[in-house]
Amino acid sequence: MEKKYKLLVKFKQEYISHVKDGVLYFHDKETMLRDSYFIFNLDYRMAIPDLAANGKKEFTENNIDLSQYKGLVYVDNDMTSRELEEIADKLRQLNIVEYVVLEPAEPIIPPSMPDLEEPCIRVLSNTPDLSSYQTYNRDQAGADVYGIDADYAWSIGITGKGVRCADIEWGNIYGHENLKSDNFIELVATTNHSNDDHGAGVAGVIFARGNGFGMKGAANGLDYFYGISEITHGRPAGIAKGLEYLRPGDVFLFEMQTGGQNGNYVPPDFNMAVWDLTKNATDNGIIVVMTAGNGSEDLDDPSYENYRKRGDNGAIRVGAGTKVGRHRASFSTYGSSMVHLQGWGDWTVATTGGGNLFNAGPLRNYRSNFSGTSSAGPIVASAVIAVQSWYKANNNGEVLSPHAMRELLIKTGTRQGSGGHVGPLPNIRRAIEALQISGDKPVLWSPNSVRYEVDELVEHNGRKYICTQAHVSNSGWAPGVANTLWKLVGQAF
């Protein structure tokens, strides 16, 4: 059976005169008719429908300009795959074309792995508190088992307040008992509900309400969690819709993957249109976290040279690691220059949806085996949200840039084990502590915080300590329990 494709093309903005009712009008049409006549025999559909009226779309939450995408269109003619490839080759030769992408006609499945064979436990009792299964939220949960330490964030009152998050994938379960909320908002409804459970799993890691039953999301105090279906209008349109609601410092999670050079799954921004929109987002301060894909592809391979040569679009690409040891999961795409951080992906993530852990119906089901770069993505996004929430609260509303956040989480994360490079696992506590001791001014996280300078002497419990690293601490903190920042020098003076 022939594989079906659709053709996405971006005409350069400077060659487009205007857009009216979904029709592109070009400058110097007479010359183009002579040199590029075939483009006028094609039917086009705007990739971002909001631009169809006049090619313009203004946002109130940020300074993103979508007018550069008025020339981003799908070729709507009914053609065979071979005919589409021939047209694509012709378009690539034109000076007026920025890029051309052949996309699979059918939506690409989300980046989760098939569930392990486990019994589905159907229960009709009240939903119990299942948050103890979410060991990825702890600091350490066993021998060589480390999480992102959301426990620490909660202990200092950080639950995501001040930050918004959008998630683009197939669909979600907005009425789930552990997710439903006035600030869980569906921006683009899906037309295919076959993977709603996947969205519920992602949302649960980040946003599960923590209301005494079910799960507790690491960033359950988010201002808003937006759900966007990529199915309805395509990925460019879905991303554009999410960007409309996000501000600098907010987080956009791309729970998607795409086919790479060998057809195996790689990050969604291998598609040039997604890469393009990602860079526009990060240039405007929005942090994009995206799954690296479950294709076991090596992005350092020469076949991905052109992907790497595009440069840095500011995204945080997330690979899947194992719960024990943080080794690369065998299925995860990887690469030292392209994949930055990891989350748990080896069927060990407890969250909403599924039903192997507790199942009292489609709106009351929970699982312990969420997996793939799908489960890794929201774990990393949760750490980003927590750190940003803390930073924003303690810096008069200022936010960390996408590049600064990525560098910080890499620097302070828990080191990867073996396998191809998927990066460290974020650690919220260490990231916040690093922010407390860096910069030209102290960053306070408590009204009772105290700044200690290098070589400063303090007395504690009858002993004398010298500060070895400048830092900020709350007044109840003691040098005896943080000896990486203090050195015992003798008895009290």
Asked if 45 contacts 73 with a C-beta cutoff of 8 angstroms, the reply is: yes
The confidence band for 112, taking pLDDT boundaries of 50, 70 and 90, is: confident
8-state DSSP, 268: G
- Give tens-digit pLDDT for 48-90: 999 999 999 889 999 999 999 999 999 999 999 999 999 999 9
Per-residue tokens: 270: 């291998």
Give the list of residues 6+ apart from residue 135 with CB closer than 8 angstroms, or none: 141, 142, 145, 147, 323, 348, 350
Residue 74: what are its φ and ψ, rounded to 5°?
-95, 140
H/E segment holding residue 305 = helix 305-309
- Give tens-digit pLDDT for 445-492: 233 446 677 788 887 666 777 887 665 554 445 554 444 567 777 654
Residue type, 387: V
224-229 and 164-169 strand pairing = parallel
Give the list of residues 6+ apart from residue 271 with CB closer than 8 angstroms, or none: 101, 103, 235, 258
Better pLDDT: 292 or 116 = 292
- Give tens-digit pLDDT for 162-197: 999 999 999 999 999 999 999 999 999 999 999 999
* Cross-sheet strand order for the sheet of 184-188: 184-188, 224-229, 164-169, 251-254, 287-291, 316-321, 341-344
Domain ranges, ordered by start, for the chain: 5-104, 131-436, 450-491
Q: What pLDDT shows up at residue 473?
A: 59
Per-residue tokens: 453: 């300078």
Q: 428 by DSSP, 3-state: which?
A: helix
Mean pLDDT of 115-124: 60
State which fold the 450-491 domain adopts.
Answer: Seminal Fluid Protein  PDC-109 (Domain B) (2.10.10)
Mean pLDDT of 415-436: 97
Mean pLDDT of 338-350: 98
Asked if 295 contacts 265 with a C-beta cutoff of 8 angstroms, the reply is: yes
Is it true that domain 131-436 has CATH number 3.40.50.720?
no
- Look at residue 114 and tell me whether its pLDDT is greater than 80: no
H/E segment holding residue 343 = strand 341-344
Q: What pLDDT shows up at residue 492?
A: 45
Residue 411: what are its φ and ψ, rounded to 5°?
-65, -35
Per-residue tokens: 218: 């690491």
The confidence band for 120, taking pLDDT boundaries of 50, 70 and 90, is: low
- Look at residue 235 and tell me whether its pLDDT is greater than 70: yes
The CATH code of the domain at 5-104 is 3.30.70
Mean pLDDT of 145-157: 98
Name the nearest CA neighbour of 70 among 46, 88, 40: 46
- Look at residue 440 and tell me whether its pLDDT is greater than 50: no
Pick the range with the lowest mean pLDDT from 81-85, 216-220, 313-317, 487-491.
Answer: 487-491
Task: Tell me the percentage of the chain whose pLDDT exceeds 70.
Answer: 89
Q: 34 by DSSP, 3-state: which?
A: helix
Name the nearest CA neighbour of 39 among 67, 77, 5: 77
Q: What pLDDT shows up at residue 474?
A: 46
Say whether pTM exceeds 0.95. Answer: no
Q: What length does the chain have?
A: 493
Q: 377 by DSSP, 3-state: which?
A: helix
Q: What pLDDT shows up at residue 485?
A: 66
Tokens 């079910």 identify what position?
214
- Average pLDDT across the chain, whole number: 91
The confidence band for 444, taking pLDDT boundaries of 50, 70 and 90, is: very low
Q: 101 by DSSP, 3-state: which?
A: strand
358-359 and 457-460 strand pairing = unpaired
Beta strands in 170-312 (DSSP E): 184-188, 224-229, 251-254, 258-259, 265-266, 287-291
Q: What pLDDT shows up at residue 472?
A: 53
Per-residue tokens: 74: 């799908």
Asked if 269 contacts 307 with a C-beta cutoff of 8 angstroms, the reply is: no
- Give tens-digit pLDDT for 259-281: 999 899 999 999 999 999 999 99
Mean pLDDT of 304-313: 97
Torsion angle, alpha carbons of 352, 189, 373, 209, to 10 = -30
